[in-house]
Amino acid sequence: MTKHYTQVSKSKQTDDEPFTRTALFFRDEQMQKLRLLSAAAGSPVAELVRRAVDSYLEHRKEEWEPLVKKK
């Protein structure tokens, strides 16, 4: 199985928000689908992943928001 590395580059910032670099491991089938969507949308795979994470976090907001308020 081929491992793919996705890294968010600090040099390509949007909305003046700093990025944190990380490595993600996708199954080959996941990466193939992400690349297809990336090409169709004209957006980098990293942007699609960020959008998916934003959607996931919004969906689970009731769980993480109280934890942020505790700090």
Residue 10: both structure tokens together: 């600090």
* Whole-number pLDDT of residue 62: 93
Q: Report whether 3 contacts 41 (CB < 8 A).
A: no
By the 8 A CB rule, do 28 and 1 touch? yes
5 vs 35, which has greater pLDDT? Answer: 35
Q: Determine the average pLDDT of the residues in 49-63.
A: 96
Beta bridge partners of 6: 24
Please give the model's pTM, rounded to 2 decimal places: 0.71
Output the pLDDT for position 2. 55
Quick one: pLDDT at residue 69?
Answer: 83
Average pLDDT over residues 20-30: 95
For all residues of the chain together, what is the average pLDDT? 85
